[in-house]
Chains A and B, each alone.
Chain A
Amino acid sequence: MTQTATRAHPSPAAYWGIALFLAAVTALEISVPYTAALEPVKVPLLLVLGAIKFVTVVSFFMHLRYDKKLYRNLFMFGAIGVFPLFIVVLLSMHAFA
């Protein structure tokens, strides 16, 4: 298999399973702010749950897991590049002053 080859996409049943998983993660996500015991870990937990949903949709629904590596690299350039941009925006607005 070459670097640019693609693999077969999941079946409709697998898509329903992924959607069920996403729904479960969303339910967990919504319950976090209202669970007093999770208050100390609220922020990291919500960020991790959000990241899990993000990666799941990109990998399976957008087929990035099965598609050419070139597309993955092009998207990751923007998705990872957003973090330095994030810092630049905050610095330009004197967020850390």
Chain B
Amino acid sequence: MTSQAAPVEAHEHHDIRPVRKAAMWVFLGSECMFFGSMIATFLLYRNETGAGPGSEIFNVGFTSASSFVLLMSSLTMVLAHNAFEKRDARGTRIWLAATALLGITFIAGQIYEFTEFVNGGLTLSTSSFSGAFYMLTGFHGGHVAIGVMLLLAMFFLSTEGRLRDDGGLNVELVGLYWHFVDIIWIVIFTVVYLLQV
């Protein structure tokens, strides 16, 4: 007959949370390579503009503001995680909502920027430069959009008091993903925008 401590030991033995977190870091490492190959492709084609516009079409002032918004969303995300660790449900909800809002603002800025570029003659098929640019920034925007959906899911789970169902790991993993989206933009902003001025 097993002792009463057996279920606890079994639970500890099968705690997969560290494995999930390690898997997230492996995923983020692989994402570095994914974006790295796209950045390399952009650099290769940065002067292949054909008859279309090149980097002179960029509005660095506007993109700088968008970059600042995304950078500050990393602050609100880490504050959400901090509030969650302190079991401050209201604070967690506020900072999660603020992060999602900043993410939506960034996406709105990117949609505006893309619209301006298309109106200026820079479409996906204009040149190798435009194709590489839209693929890189578009994939990043897609990652931001997924991040916003995850943040909103966390927000609604928190309103139902279900954020701790997994010991709180989901908040941390979503946070890691969100910060990763931010650091990739730090690289894209430097390489694609600032270095082309």
Contact = CB atoms under 8 A, between A and B. Distances in A.
**Chain A complexes with chain B:** yes
Interface string A25-60: 010011011100000001100110110011001101
B187 A85 contact: no
A43 B197 CA distance: 11
B102 to A, nearest CB: 12
A15 B80 CA distance: 11
Interface string A1-32: 00000000100100110110011001001101
Contacts of B71: 19, 22-23, 26, 53
B98 to A, nearest CB: 13
Contacts of A46: 190, 194-195
B77 to A, nearest CB: 7
Given A71-B21, A74-B29, A82 B36 contact: yes
B78 A75 contact: no
A83 B35 CA distance: 11
Interface residues of B, number: 46
Main secondary structure, interface of B, reads helix
A54 B187 contact: yes
Interface string B31-50: 11101110111011000000
Interface residues of A, number: 45
A35 B1 CA distance: 78
B78 to A, nearest CB: 5
B93 interface: no
Contacts of A43: 195
Given A15-B75, A23-B71, A33 B197 contact: yes
Contacts of A54: 183, 186-187
Given A9-B85, A61-B75, 11 more contacts: A15-B78, A23-B68, A33-B197, A49-B190, A50-B191, A54-B183, A57-B183, A58-B183, A61-B74, A61-B78, A82-B36
Interface of A: 9, 12, 15-16, 18-19, 22-23, 26, 29-30, 32-34, 42-43, 46-47, 49-50, 53-54, 57-58, 60-62, 68, 70-71, 74-79, 81-83, 85-86, 89-90, 93, 95
